[in-house]
Amino acid sequence: MVFTLETTDSSSKARAGILITDHGSIHTPIFMPVGTAATVKGVHQKELKEVVNPDVILGNTYHLYLRPGTSILEQAGGLHRFMNWDRPILTDSGGYQVYSLSANRKIKEEGVKFKSHIDGSYHFFTPENAISIQRKIGADIIMAFDECTPYPCDYEYAKKSMYRTHRWLERCIEQDQKEPPLYGYSQTLFPIVQGSVFKDLREQSAEFIAKQNAPANAIGGLSVGEPAEEMYAMTDVVCDVLPLDKPRYLMGVGTPINLLENIALGVDMFDCVMPTRNARNGMLFTAEGIINIKNKKWETDFSPIDPTGYCFADLEYSKAYVRHLFTVNEMLGKQICTLHNLSFYLWLVREARKHILAGDFASWKSKMVSQLNHRL
Which residues are designated catalytic? 92, 271
- In whole angstroms, what separates CA 120 from the centre of its chain? 27
Summarised one tens digit per residue, pLDDT across range 237-257 is: 999 999 999 999 999 999 999
**Cβ atoms of residues 256 and 246 within 8 Å:** no
Tell me the torsion sign for CA atoms 18, 21, 25, 27.
negative
- In whole angstroms, what separates CA 104 from the centre of its chain? 24
The stretch 7-26 carries a mean pLDDT of: 98
Q: Is the pLDDT of residue 283 over 90?
A: yes
Helix (H, G, I), strand (E, B) or coil at 113: strand
Summarised one tens digit per residue, pLDDT across range 149-162 is: 999 999 999 999 99
Confidence of residue 87 (pLDDT cuts 50, 70, 90): very high
**Amino acid (1-letter code) at residue 227:** P
Alpha-carbon gap, residue 71 to 91, rounded angstroms: 17
Q: Is the pLDDT of residue 146 over 80?
A: yes
**Cβ atoms of residues 287 and 314 within 8 Å:** no
Overall residue count recorded for the chain in this entry:
376
Alpha-carbon gap, residue 363 to 14, rounded angstroms: 12
**Cβ atoms of residues 140 and 187 within 8 Å:** yes
Alpha-carbon gap, residue 114 to 341, rounded angstroms: 33
- The residues spanned by each domain of the chain are 30-272, 273-376
154: enclosing H helix or E strand: none
* This prediction's pTM: 0.98
In terms of Cα–Cα distance, which of 179, 194, 197, 114 is closest to 142?
Answer: 179
Q: Tell the CATH topology of 30-272.
A: TIM Barrel (3.20.20)
Confidence of residue 96 (pLDDT cuts 50, 70, 90): confident
